[in-house]
């Protein structure tokens, strides 16, 4: 199997000296996700948690709504170790014919969004959140400020993103790291999805900015509150507002900028 990190010799130079040293580099490999025997999407990611990654990805794409929609989920071995295959129950396949025909239509890495039709599609597969969650803002800030404590891969490589998911009383449910921020979220969500615990998820913390695709993924997972280190994009705020979600990011030295859904936070 591919490695999550690799050791590499680098040259360190300044005007007076130069020397060689070992650096640990985060791994990056393609992962091909095949649905119903056909290629659906290829994502660049850090190896690890392949089944959870594929499950979270399929949930975000609207391919599945519950674990019961999945017939088989498997990771190939040997030369095809970077391939995950997904088959769906017949009843589910019949409901998503249009999505399968337009495979990959909202699959993004960091290439952005292509046209207004895609935004419309997002709203069609995601229902607004109607929960009445109320969270202590100070405790939520602690979760995002302490995210690095749950990032062993970052501590070794200084190059990974992370997504951590908490309950309403700030118990850590799931955490994942990856070179891609969206992959980290798919993995963290996928773990809960496969274990049947996604309904406990209330707070999502992210090491990155908040882009529209991260809001989309959180909304598909029915996670109402998203906190991140960096600010959201305008499209992310627009989508979150329409979906009745809470978006916020850190405000130094120790506070929050809340962009929408402030009713869920108790200050």
b/e 230-257 (16+ beta carbons within 10 angstroms → b): ebbbebbbebbbbbbbbbbbbeeeeebe
Kindly indicate the confidence band of residue 48, based on its pLDDT and cuts at 50, 70 and 90: very high
Evaluate whether 31-125 and 135-266 have a shared fold.
no
Mean pLDDT for 207-218 is: 93
| pLDDT at res. 192 | 98
What CATH number has the domain spanning 135-266? 3.40.140.10
The answer to whether residues 39 and 84 touch, using CB atoms and an 8 Å cutoff, is: no
Look up residue 151 and give its two tokens: 């990032």
Mean pLDDT for 17-44 is: 87
| pLDDT at res. 14 | 62
| pLDDT at res. 54 | 97
| pLDDT at res. 120 | 56
d(Cα 144, Cα 205) in Å, to the nearest integer?
6
Tell me: the pLDDT tens digits for 86-98?
999 999 999 999 8
Look up residue 201 and give its two tokens: 């998820």
Catalytic residue among 111, 114, 249, 260: 111
| pLDDT at res. 109 | 41
Mean pLDDT for 197-207 is: 97
pLDDT tops 70 at residue 193: yes
Tell me: the pLDDT tens digits for 52-82?
999 999 999 999 999 999 999 999 776 667 8
Domain 31-125 grouped into CATH 3.10.310.10: no
Helix (H) or strand (E) holding 140: helix 137-145
The residue ranges of every structural domain in the chain are 31-125, 135-266
**Annotation says 111 is catalytic:** yes
pLDDT tops 80 at residue 107: no
| pLDDT at res. 106 | 42
Greatest mean pLDDT among 15-19, 118-122, 238-242 lies in 238-242
């Amino acid at each position: 199997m591919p490695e999550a990190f690799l050791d590499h010799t680098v040259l360190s130079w300044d005007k007076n000296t130069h020397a060689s040293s070992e650096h640990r580099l985060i791994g990056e490999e393609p992962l091909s996700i095949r649905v119903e025997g056909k290629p659906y999407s290829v994502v660049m990611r850090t190896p690890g948690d392949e089944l959870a990654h594929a499950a979270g990805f399929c949930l975000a794409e609207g391919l599945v709504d519950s674990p019961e929609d999945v017939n088989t989920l498997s990771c190939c071995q040997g030369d095809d170790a970077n391939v995950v295959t997904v088959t769906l129950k017949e009843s589910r396949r019949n409901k998503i014919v249009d999505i399968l025909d337009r495979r990959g239509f909202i699959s993004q890495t960091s290439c952005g969004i292509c046209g207004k039709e895609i935004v419309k599609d997002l709203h069609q597969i995601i229902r607004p959140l109607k929960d009445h969650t109320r969270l202590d803002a100070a405790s939520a800030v602690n979760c995002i400020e302490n995210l690095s404590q749950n990032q062993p891969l970052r501590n070794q490589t200084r190059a990974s993103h992370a997504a951590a998911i908490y309950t309403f009383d700030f118990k850590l449910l799931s955490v994942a790291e990856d070179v891609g921020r969206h992959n980290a979220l798919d993995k963290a969500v996928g773990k809960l999805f496969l274990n049947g615990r996604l309904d406990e998820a209330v707070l999502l913390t992210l090491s990155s900015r908040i882009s529209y695709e991260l809001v989309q993924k959180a909304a598909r997972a029915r996670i109402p509150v998203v906190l991140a280190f960096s600010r959201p994009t305008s499209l992310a705020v627009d989508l979150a507002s329409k979906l009745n979600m809470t978006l916020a990011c850190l405000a130094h030295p120790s506070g929050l900028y809340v962009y929408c859904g402030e009713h869920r936070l108790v200050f």
